[in-house]
Amino acid sequence: MARGTSRLQLACVAVAVALGLTACGSGGIKDNPSGASGGKDCGDLRIAVNPWTGYVSNAHVIGYVAKTKLGCNVTYPDVKEEVGWAGMASGSIDTIVENWGHPDLVKKYIDEQKSVEDAGPTGGKGIIGWYVPPWMAEKYPDITDWKSLNKYASLFKTSESGDKGQLLDGDPSYVTNDEALVKNLKLNYKVVVGGSEASLIQSFKSAEKNKTPLLAYFYEPQWFFSEMKLVHVNLPKYTDGCDADPAKVNCDYPEYNLNKLIAKKFADSGSPAVDLIKKFSWTNDDQNIVSTYIAKDGMSPDDAAKKWVDANPDKVKAWLG
């Protein structure tokens, strides 16, 4: 009985302490001020996030600005590129902030369905290509020319490629002509799929460390270049239309002028964020800085964005002007 009573007291004390604590907590909760820009309410902004770090940088910098300067309620649905396009058409996504070409999708959604609009370039230049780790370029200087690839094919043999050389590819959603290239350039290689940006980076890291050969699909802008100077393998020069028929491609990837996309519905909504997205523009280097914060320094995308935005008030101002 006595035992029970003391426990009861204990419980009372615990509750009292809890209540006391809450009372000393920091201040009360006030409603959000809405629409800092003074104009219309921003409301929701749903920025698709595609699976590479550079993209994440674009998305969160725009998102951070929209949230803090325009009072938008920003969300970041993680979707692959094509799903993002479809999402803009169906109304579940408002914008894609780094688009790599996709002529087929442009035709379908922008030209035919007219459910998506081009929101102008990001300022970034996109390069896709085949890369080798630095030590290989040093040891085999001529490897940067595609013509000597067959000579070195046996170096790149792995358990996955059998008796051919291995060409490592990335995320299934990435734009790639690699299989057609291998075939049309008569290379003795087999395309092996790595799975993601992460696995490509991991592969390069371990190839450089262990001095093992590696030939892989990769792309710029890319924060990883600040950590390791991968060397581009030159394929036959890109000429207009040489990639018109996907099955007959025999030339390097074009240089992409990366652009932003915006859902028609959202563009017509009059949200102040529409202007922000259209005006947003920066360089590969800017993006790489933010990406490095995220991927290398392990910052959360929002913190990384904040850091960059705080350091570059002029650029941000131009987007809002």
Partner 1 sequence: MSTATAPPPAPPDRTASASKEEQPYVELGKKRHTGAKLAGIGIFWLVMWLVFHNQMTRALGLQDTTPFHEWLNGIRDWVQLHGPDNWFFGGVLGFIGDFFNAVFEFLQKLVSIPAFPRPVPEIGWLGVVALATWVGWAVAGLRSTILVVVTMLLFGVFGLWQDSIDLLLVTIIAVVFCFVVGLPTGILMARSRATSAVVTPVLDIMQTMPPFAYLAPVALGFGIGPTTAIVLTCIYALPPMIRITEHGIRGVPDTTIEAARSLGLTRGQMLRQVQLPMARRTIVVGINQSMMAALSMATIAALVNGPGLGKDVNAALQIQNIGAASVAGILIVLTAIMLDRTTTAASERSESMGRSGVASVSGPGVMLAGVVLERLPRWATEEAGKGVRQPRLTSAGRWLVRGLWLIPTLVLVYFSRQQLILAQFPTRDDWPFLKYIDGKTVTKLVNDFSNWFIDKVDTFTLALKNDLTNWLINPLQNLLAESPWWTMALVLLAFAYVLGGWRPVVTTLVCEAIIFGTGLWNDTMITLTMTIFATVLVMLTAVVLGVAMGRNRRADTAIRPILDAFQTIPPFVYLIPALALFGASRFTAIIAAVAYAVPIATKLVADGIRGVSPTTVEAARANGSTKWQMITKVQLPMSRNALVLATNQGLLYVLSMVVIGGLVGGGSLGYIVVSGFSQDQLFGKGLAAGIAITALGVMLDRIARYAAERYGR
* Phi, psi values for residue 193, rounded to 5°: -95, 125
Do the Cβ atoms of 157 and 163 come closer than 8 Å? yes
Figure out which of the listed residues 59, 62, 86, 276 binds partner 1, where binding follows CB under 8 A: 86
226 binds partner 1 (CB under 8 A): no
DSSP designation for 254: P
Site for partner 1 in 99-158 (CB under 8 A): 102, 104-105, 108, 113, 158
For partner 1, give the closer residue by CB, 153 or 201: 201
Figure out which of the listed residues 3, 241, 244, 314 binds partner 1, where binding follows CB under 8 A: 3
Q: How far is the CB of 85 from partner 1 (least distance, A)?
A: 7
Task: Judge residue 127's burial from the number of C-beta atoms within 10 Å of its C-beta, 0-12 exposed, 13-18 middle, 19 or more buried.
Answer: middle
For partner 1, give the closer residue by CB, 67 or 319: 67
Distance (Å, whole) CA 71 – CA 213: 50
38 binds partner 1 (CB under 8 A): no
For partner 1, give the closer residue by CB, 73 or 150: 73
For partner 1, give the closer residue by CB, 77 or 121: 77
Q: How far is the CB of 55 from partner 1 (least distance, A)?
A: 10
320 binds partner 1 (CB under 8 A): no
User: Would you say how long the chain is, in residues?
Assistant: 321
For partner 1 (CB under 8 A), the number of binding residues is 78
Q: From residue 105, give the alpha-carbon distance in Å to each of 101, 177, 180.
A: 9, 16, 20
Taking the alpha carbons of 261, 266, 269, 275 in that order, is the dihedral positive or negative?
negative
Q: How far is the CB of 272 from partner 1 (least distance, A)?
A: 16
Helix (H) or strand (E) holding 11: helix 2-24
For partner 1, give the closer residue by CB, 99 or 203: 203
For partner 1, give the closer residue by CB, 172 or 270: 172
For partner 1, give the closer residue by CB, 59 or 65: 59
Q: How far is the CB of 314 from partner 1 (least distance, A)?
A: 28
Site for partner 1 in 61-80 (CB under 8 A): 73, 77-80
b/e 265-293 (16+ beta carbons within 10 angstroms → b): ebbeeebbbbbbbbebebebebbbbbbbb
Q: How far is the CB of 20 from partner 1 (least distance, A)?
A: 11
* Phi, psi values for residue 228, rounded to 5°: -145, 125
Figure out which of the listed residues 13, 39, 40, 82 binds partner 1, where binding follows CB under 8 A: 82
162 binds partner 1 (CB under 8 A): yes
Distance (Å, whole) CA 216 – CA 178: 10
**Type of residue found at 13:** V
Site for partner 1 in 233-272 (CB under 8 A): 246
**Type of residue found at 3:** R
Distance (Å, whole) CA 7 – CA 155: 74
